[in-house]
A and B are shown apart, each in its own frame.
Chain A
Amino acid sequence: MTSQPYANNPPLTNVPMTEPLTSDPPPIFHCRQLCFTYPDTTTALHNIDLAIGQRDRIALVGHNGSGKSTLIRHFNGILPVQKGELLYHGTPLTGDHLAAIRLKVGVLFQDPDNHLFCNSLYEDVAFGPLNQGKNREEVDHLVRTNLAKVGLEQYLFKPAHLLSYGQKKRAAFATVMAMEPEMLILDEPTANLDPRQEHIFKQLLTAFTGTLIIIDHDLLFLYEICTRAVVLTEGRIHHDFSMDELVSHPQNLHDHGLDFMFRFTCCGTHKDTPYHHHHHHTHDHNSQNSHLPAPSLPNPPLLELQHYTFAYPDNSPGISDINLCITKGETLALVGENGAGKSTLAHCLMGLHQGKGYLLFQDSPLLKSAHRILRQHIGMVFQHSSDQLFCPSCWQEVAFGPQQMKLSGLEIKQRVHEALAAMQLEGYDDRVPLHMSGGERKRLAIAAVLAMQPAILILDEPTPNLDPQSELLLMELLKQLPTTTILITHDLFFIRNLTRRTVVMHQGRIVRDYATTDFLTDDHLQAVNGLDYTYKNGCIQTIQELQDKNLTVAQ
């Protein structure tokens, strides 16, 4: 299906569509009254009626937990049809037919590590085509072509555990594309990727000619690729219309918790922030031979790195000659391409990696043996919040840090209560972290760090996998925190709204250190590190025009 048929659709209704919007060609998949209930009695899908036509480009959207992943697991036969009917080219998904469908419907799951189960990329990509019964020459060609398309041709025989996250994500995509699927289903394909890698995905998906279903919370990304939007709410299809119609009705977006319009507005408060430069010290030395702070500094730095270099033992790129000064109350964004050294720098600030150079805390150089002190004053929330959660209840999780600090029982109780309240998790004391949604887990991980009352809070990629509503809530909560904050992210909206200073990294070095307003208007950034954070601006303008047009018609 193309976008054209949708343009002439009748006005929106809340009645789900039961038939494809065009009658020819016949649908690939047809769901009739499809229901699914998990063994713990959670009903994930209620009476789904959906027809997926050839060449449809569908954005499957909805809250976290609305049943999107459950639905796509049916299309590949991973979940059985419990009630209702699911037909592929008019035939139910059973037996040999099911095995054949799996070779035609490619699914890319969220976590790329699940896709890379062989001992080299070559084997991973060849796995699908070999199962399809293709001959070796053909398989070899497919492997090399698809890895070249995602820019990994030089890593043909690299084991997956040695790849970066972005590389893994692209490699996982190549494993699916090598099967030349008739239909492609992608679950959060661009989470945690920098704009350049996101752009690679966008180009490949635009060029894909088969049927496409994408689950993503980034409606700007979806808008550029998909033509049809299916909105799921609590396991039911609430809307099935064109992408243009979805984005042009702010009220609909708002009703389904998909309102991403907040991303379009600038807070406009950061106009007069002075220019920063990362050399905040003189060339005079103190007794321990580190540089003295510049007399022009208004406040003594809280944390400072001087000429700091760190290299990984396996020759992976680290950071090189970093000079960075963080003062109390500052809000700083660390940006750069995947593998630029942002997380490595954060680990150095926490004393987890010990390199060459000077690390000063409250103006005193720290010896390597004293790096432990940093952990009492700096808190870090990791990219994957589940890495941080290991206790059986939320209360225990948040109390863990204060307990290790040997605080009194009363103090611990108070801190846990305050931290949970700060992250709007009151009443979650006995909830099991493992059973919580992605957004809740992220907030719990922040609460667990806040309970230790750190002087500096480092947040590593806080937004991926969160729906717009959870994103907005998280942003509002982070805005209210009085702590010095370092935000590692690719999310321009968070950078704009939460930080006043931006440090741009490229290949382990700081290439820019300036006010966020300067970063947002920096036209030369793309030339420096190849990242174009503004490439979605065109898309934003189109959506705004659509909404304005829709508003005018309504009036």
Chain B
Amino acid sequence: MTQPDNIILVSPWIACAIIGLIITWPLYLLCKKRWYPTSSNDRDTTPPDWSTAPGSAEEKRPSFFHTWDPRFKIATLFAFCFVVVSLDALDTCLAALLISILAVFFSHTPWIRVQKRLVALSGFLTMFLVIMPFTSPAVEQETILLFPLLPTLPFHMYGLLTAVLICLKACSVALLMEPMFGTSSLTISLQALQQIGVPSPIIQMLLLTHRFIYLFQQEAHRMHRSMKLRGFSPKTNMATMCITGNFLGMLFIRSYERTQHVYEAMLSRGYNGIFPIYTQHRISAKDIAITGAWLITGLALLLFDAPAQALWL
């Protein structure tokens, strides 16, 4: 049986402090939100400038990500994401995270958007951090912490390290999504994907889905609102099931009719099965240089990570 190298008994005070922190931190955030709600005066009320394409070089603060050929950008950053995912050492993972943060910084992405993306991931990652140290198998030369009153549930430092690595890699990849897709409009990004080999029907479906998901959402909202105004409040009974069935059925019929009408409108404007390409890109030396720099960075990360990778072999 594998024996751990070091077993540390955690002092009750430290254990209490950790438990206290785990309980009070979310409570603090909750209370802060309730007592000090974001005032509408603090909100940025200036309407966005729609006269320039979002994520285009004409934007107020363009970065090299904005001007980088989207085909190269998506292919390179996608490959870089695979490199990040394959890393195994803490220092290379930290370096990858730092690179991602720098990429977000240089792409001029609003930090609030980044924060939202990371918050969306946080629940999932927290589960890793909580569960993995307690469930990880024992390995040689690892340190185990034993908390008071929990002698049968050892805290494996190796499990914690694995969870931290997963979190670092997940955050790095999530952050890279912003410069990859946030610095070009959706259409340009999707058409770049089409040009690098993603099948055209998938791209067209994604394009139309993105537009009409909002429309169907609005239609569903309006129908639900009118139901509410006529006194409907959902319950766990047969009547609610019937009404919900009618609602979904009507939504389906309307969606079907809508798709037919949209198709007719597309046909009447010359649609022949292929969406026109809106932007033509020319490969420049700058595109190749940026792509080369990213690839070298990726290779360097792999090189520094090699000793850690060797441990798996």
| Chain A interface residues (CB < 8 Å from chain B) | 73, 76-78, 99, 102-103, 105-107, 109, 111, 113-120, 122-123, 126-128, 130-132, 136, 153-161, 175-176, 179, 311, 315, 350, 352, 375-376, 379-380, 382, 384, 386-392, 400-401, 403-405, 434, 448-449, 452
Contacts and interface: CB of A to CB of B under 8 A. Distances in A.
Contacts of B222: 382, 384, 387
Nearest to B54: A157
Contact of B50 (A77, A117, A155, A392): A155
Interface string B13-51: 000000000000000000000000000100101010011
Interface stretch (B66-74, B106-114, B128-136, B209-217): B209-217
Given A117-B212, A128-B269, A404-B230, 5 more contacts: A77-B267, A120-B187, A382-B226, A391-B246, A400-B232
A390 B270 contact: no
Contact of A107 (B258, B262, B268): B268
B269 A131 contact: yes
User: Which of B223, B262, B268, B275 has the most chain A CB within a 10 Å cutoff?
Assistant: B268
Contact of B218 (A117, A161, A382, A449): A161
A119 B276 contact: no
A113 B259 CA distance: 11
Contact of A158 (B50, B211, B226): B50
Nearest to A390: B250
Contacts of B271: 127, 131
A404 B212 CA distance: 32
Contacts of A77: 267
A131 B230 contact: no
B231 A126 contact: no
A388 B226 contact: yes
Contacts of A448: 230
Contacts of B187: 118-120, 123
Contacts of A153: 51
Nearest to B270: A131
A321 to B, nearest CB: 15
Contact of A118 (B45, B207, B254, B258): B207
Contacts of A405: 231
B270 A157 contact: no
B50 A131 contact: no
Contact of A452 (B40, B43, B45, B231): B231
B52 interface: yes
Interface in B164-189: 185-187
Contacts of B211: 116-119, 159-161
30 contacts: A76-B268, A77-B267, A78-B264, A102-B270, A107-B265, A109-B264, A109-B265, A111-B261, A113-B258, A120-B53, A126-B276, A126-B278, A127-B266, A127-B269, A127-B276, A130-B276, A156-B51, A157-B52, A158-B50, A159-B214, A175-B269, A179-B269, A315-B43, A375-B230, A384-B222, A390-B247, A400-B230, A403-B239, A404-B230, A434-B253
A161 B215 contact: yes
Interface of B: 40, 43, 45, 47, 50-54, 185-187, 207-208, 210-212, 214-215, 218-219, 222-223, 225-233, 239, 243, 246-247, 249-250, 253-254, 258, 261-262, 264-272, 275-278, 280
Contacts of B225: 352
A315 B187 CA distance: 25
A350 B231 CA distance: 12
A448 B185 CA distance: 44
Contact of B214 (A107, A161, A379): A161
Contacts of A128: 269-270
A475 B145 CA distance: 81
Contacts of B277: 130
B272 A449 contact: no
Contact of A114 (B227, B265, B270, B275): B265
B50 A132 contact: no
A390 B227 contact: yes
Contacts of B276: 126-127, 130-131
A116 B54 CA distance: 18
A276 B200 CA distance: 62
Given A109-B261, A157-B51, A161-B214, A117 B208 contact: yes
Which 10 A-B pairs give the minimum distances between C-beta atoms? A131-B270, A404-B231, A130-B276, A161-B214, A158-B50, A128-B269, A401-B230, A387-B222, A114-B261, A390-B250
User: Which of A114, A128, A179 has the most chain B CB within a 10 Å cutoff?
Assistant: A114
A119 B185 contact: yes
B227 A375 contact: no
Nearest to B45: A315
A120 B185 contact: yes
Nearest to A152: B50
Contacts of B266: 117, 127
Given A375-B231, A387-B223, A131 B265 contact: no
Contacts of A126: 276, 278
Contacts of A155: 50-51
